[in-house]
Amino acid sequence: MAALLSATALAADGYGVADFDKVPKIDAHLHLHGASQEAFLALARKDNFKALTINVDYPDFPPLDRQRNVAAALARAHPDRVAWAATFSTAGFEAPGWSDATLKDLDGALAAGAVGVKVWKNIGMSLRDGRGRLVMVDDARFDRVFDGLAQRGVMVLGHQGEPHNCWLPLERMTVKNDREYFKAHPAYHMYAHPEMPSYEQQMAARDRLLAKHLDLRFVGVHLASLEWDVDRLAAFLDAHPTASVDVAARIGQLQYQSQRDRRRVRDFFVKYQDRLMYGSDLAQSEEQDDAAFVADLDTVWRRDWRYFVTADSFKVPELDGQVRGLALPRAVVDKLYRLNAEKAYPRAWR
Q: What are the sequence ranges of the domains in the chain?
A: 2-344
Residue range 218-241: mean pLDDT, rounded: 98
Say if strands 313-315 and 322-324 run parallel, antiparallel, or are unpaired.
antiparallel
Residue range 313-328: mean pLDDT, rounded: 98
pLDDT at 3: 43
CA distances 255 to 55, 286, 310, 322, 324, Å, are 28, 30, 13, 9, 8
Mean pLDDT of the chain: 95
- Does 81 score more than 80 pLDDT? yes
- Note the pLDDT tens digit of each residue in 237-260: 999 999 999 999 999 999 999 999
- Does 42 score more than 80 pLDDT? yes
d(CA 45, CA 87): 27
Q: What is the pTM of this model?
A: 0.95
**Architecture field, domain 2-344:** Alpha-Beta Barrel (3.20)
Phi, psi at residue 219, to the nearest 5°?
Answer: -115, 120
- Does 308 score more than 60 pLDDT? yes
Residue range 172-177: mean pLDDT, rounded: 97
**Is residue 69 a contact partner of residue 55, using CB atoms and an 8 Å limit?**
no
pLDDT at 36: 78
Four-CA torsion 93, 96, 99, 103, nearest 10 degrees: -120
- Does 311 score more than 90 pLDDT? yes
Q: Which amino acid would we find at residue 168?
A: L
Residue range 87-96: mean pLDDT, rounded: 97
Q: Which residues contact 50 (CB under 8 A, 6 or more apart)?
A: 24, 25, 26, 27, 44, 80, 81, 82, 83, 349
- Among the listed ranges 12-16, 28-32, 244-248, which one has the minimum average pLDDT value? 12-16
- Among the listed ranges 179-188, 200-209, 265-274, which one has the minimum average pLDDT value? 179-188
Confidence of residue 296 (pLDDT cuts 50, 70, 90): very high
Confidence of residue 44 (pLDDT cuts 50, 70, 90): very high
